[in-house]
Amino acid sequence: MAEDRELLIEVGTEELPPTALRRLMDAFHDGIVAGLQGAEIGHRSSRRYATPRRLAVLVEGVPAQQPEQDIERRGPALSAAYDDQGQPTRAAEGFARSCGVAVAELDTLRTDKGEWLAYRARRAGARTVDLLPGIVDSTLAALPVPKRMRWGSSEATFVRPVHWVVALFGTEVVDMTVLDNRTGRETRGHRFHAPQPLGLAHAGEYERRLREEGYVIADFDRRRAILLEDARAQAAELGGELVTDAALVDEVAALVEWPVALTGRFDERFLEVPAEALISSMQGHQKVFPVARPDGTLMPRFVAIANLESRDPEEVVRGNERVIRPRLADAEFFWNQDRRTPLGQRIDELRQIVFQQRLGSLYDKQLRVATLARGLAEEFRADPDQAERAAMIARCDLLTEMVAEFPELQGTMGRYYARHDGEGEDIAAAMEEQYRPRFAGDDTPATPLGQALAVADRADTLVGIFAIGQPPTGDKDPFALRRAALGLARTLIEGERHIDLRRLFTRAAACLPEDLAADDQVGAVRDFCMERLKGYYQEQGIGAEVFDAVDAVGVDDPLDFHQRVHACAGFLELDAAASLAAANKRVRNILRKSSEPVPAMPEAGRFTTDEERNLAACLDPLVAEVEELAAAGRYEQALTRLAGLREPVDAFFDQVMVMAEDPAVRANRLALLNRLAELLGRVADISRLPSGAA
């Protein structure tokens, strides 16, 4: 058999969208590999490449053709294949012709359901090079392209004009047309350092030749690591640390093929502007990295990533400095202008911003949030007057020029402006904390006032949007209610605040217009919020069975729910857990199937076996003890005490027939089991826990 080879597919384009490059790279690689696997063409390993001007995949250990294919086709039933004289019918002859053989060459397929004519053959696999055009075309058609376009007279559509396509199978060019371009072996190096075509002798030299001769680092992750290492080294030489985030590094890596880190400076006067505004300006507008001192304050320096080794790097730096200066001057202007109007004087302007047509303006929303926050303040140990004031000015920074220019600073600038206006540090902190958590893994509000404001705002949004009949459906969640619900629950859990969700949402419903009948949605909003916690616990390694066990007892306090969940997770580590879970499931099944009335309490005088008496004797002292522990929220201790019931419960089921013939004995045993079920369900529905865990 022919030796396995390396397969290279490269699509060369004009500059691709930087924020989409990693996604396009992964999809291109995965599509090619999946196409090979779908054609039963194996491979040893694969690598993905992407630069601003190319997407490429290198697959190693690719065989020259598919393995041999076993073919089996089922024809007509034998009863319909031959007539009474044993001669082939038209059905049999037609099937044979379709298979390219005579009837006599067909086999018989015998199964439990009957016998049929069958055609069996072994066919050589197709050549890999013959299958590649279809694989490449289907991969390109399925790419998550932001917007497909055509250029010139071409009918091909892609995200950017395509200028070359390389398709090499070992040393052989795979002859095909891709997006109106004939394939070849010539790639392109850096647009300025190596503009001439670069011919590849074989697929395996792709990455090395581009790096050594083409001034292109084709490996996205390697290029990203190089630019980040060089940028950090430049910052360290300045005595500082690089200020960055993963998304910006990805974007810059998608903008360059040959990264070169250079340092620049800006006027020190701009440091009087809040650091977040300077960072947003430099990162968002110019894609450069600010530099911070060890104490976290900004230095008047930045690190830029050039896409070439310039003969005059200082000129490149001066160019970046010239562009950054007016950007920072804009931020400075916004900062000075915005502070002339205190947040409190902007409240009426919120009337001009529609929150939702049926729910009114942002002013209407903040009135509702203020009422709710004031009512919640004592439960969060916050000042009611401050809670009301914080709610009324909470969205006023939306009206500032700084937030209009940098929407990501919403809340952050509210903190600065509130502090400048003399609103007090608690209110200033709440301006920013009300938006937390902004994303998965983000911190929740840390201050009582911030927690109260965040919970009140999310409760109003959730109940209001449900009341107008627009809950999330499928992937559509225009008001980000899933994030709001999880954020609300996390704030209560991680802030250790006991709040009953039904009461909270009932309060929120009372603030909404009467015509919305918001009270009817309280239960649905409660269920929606609690359901969001299932994924939250799965990320912590806690299974859905534990969540369902706690959810079954109808807990409306997320913090209480959380404590029960972790108690159950700990309970599952005990040897008795599986046995008690199975026993509780059995108890519930027996009680559910029984149609006769069950006494409130079992009578000791009706016990007829030692196992009944022993179980009852164990239950009596446990009831008060477990009740006391559960009332104090000490659920793990309560479940640990319940674990002591394993032996008497097992003995009871081994020796006692619950459904005795004597009605009085039967009812008494059911009463005993009912008491056991109530006790076992005090923390969670233990019957829902994995009965195989031990």
Domain boundaries, the chain: 5-65+127-214, 69-123, 221-311, 343-541, 564-688
Q: Per-residue DSSP letters for 309-349? A: --S-HHHHHHHHHHHHHHHHHHHHHHHHHHTTS-GGGGGGG
- Alpha carbon dihedral 299, 301, 307, 310, in 10-degree steps, equals -150
Model pLDDT, residue 594: 76
Packing angle of the helix pair 558-571, 544-551 (nearest 10 deg)? 130
Model pLDDT, residue 691: 65
Q: What is the pLDDT of residues 334-359, one digit of tens each?
A: 999 999 999 999 999 999 999 999 99
SS (H, E, C) 101-130: CCHHHCEEEEECCEEEEEEEEEECCCEHHH
Q: How far apart are CA 327 and CA 321, in angstroms?
A: 10
Q: Are strands 45-51 and 354-356 parallel, antiparallel or unpaired?
A: unpaired
Going by the DSSP 8-state scheme, the letter that residue 606 receives in this structure is G
Yes or no: say if 606 and 664 are a contact pair by the CB < 8 Å rule: yes
Least confident among 75-79, 173-177, 402-406, 504-508:
75-79
Using pLDDT thresholds of 50, 70 and 90, give the confidence band for residue 693: very low
Cβ count near 129 (within 10 Å): 17
Q: Examine the pLDDT at 374 and tell me if it is beyond 70.
A: yes
Q: What is the mean pLDDT of the chain?
A: 92
Helix (H) / strand (E) containing 434: none
Helix (H) / strand (E) containing 55: strand 54-62
Model pLDDT, residue 69: 76
Q: What is the pLDDT of residues 460-486, one digit of tens each?
A: 999 999 999 999 988 889 999 999 999
Q: How far apart are CA 605 and CA 257, in angstroms?
A: 88
Yes or no: say if 19 and 251 are a contact pair by the CB < 8 Å rule: yes
Q: How far apart are CA 597 and CA 595, in angstroms?
A: 7
Going by the DSSP 8-state scheme, the letter that residue 398 receives in this structure is G
Residue 644 vs residue 399, higher pLDDT: 399
Q: Per-residue DSSP letters for 121-174? A: EEEPPPBHHHHHHHHHHHHHHHS--S--B--TT----BSS-EEEEEEEETTEE-
Q: How far apart are CA 580 and CA 694, in angstroms?
A: 10
Rg (CA), the chain: 35
Model pLDDT, residue 646: 82
Closest by CA position to 579, among listed 654, 634, 526, 631: 654
What is the CATH architecture of 343-541?
A: Orthogonal Bundle (1.10)
Q: How far is CA 89 from CA 75, 77, 79, 127, 425, in A?
A: 12, 11, 10, 38, 94
Q: Examine the pLDDT at 694 and tell me if it is beyond 50.
A: no
Using pLDDT thresholds of 50, 70 and 90, give the confidence band for residue 2: low
Q: How far is CA 97 from CA 81, 340, 370, 421, 584, in A?
A: 14, 90, 82, 91, 66
Model pLDDT, residue 687: 81
Question: Which residues make Cβ contacts (< 8 Å) with residue 600, sequence separation at least 6?
Answer: 671
Using pLDDT thresholds of 50, 70 and 90, give the confidence band for residue 367: very high
Look up residue 186 and give its two tokens: 């010539």
Assign domain 564-688 to a CATH class. Answer: mainly alpha
Model pLDDT, residue 464: 96
Least confident among 433-442, 451-460, 606-615, 632-641:
606-615
Using pLDDT thresholds of 50, 70 and 90, give the confidence band for residue 436: very high
Closest by CA position to 340, among listed 401, 387, 286, 258: 401
Fold identical between 343-541 and 564-688? Answer: no
Question: Which residues make Cβ contacts (< 8 Å) with residue 425, sequence separation at least 6?
Answer: 419
Going by the DSSP 8-state scheme, the letter that residue 554 receives in this structure is -
Q: How far apart are CA 276 and CA 334, in angstroms?
A: 13
Yes or no: say if 463 and 522 are a contact pair by the CB < 8 Å rule: yes
Mean pLDDT (whole number) for 203-218: 97
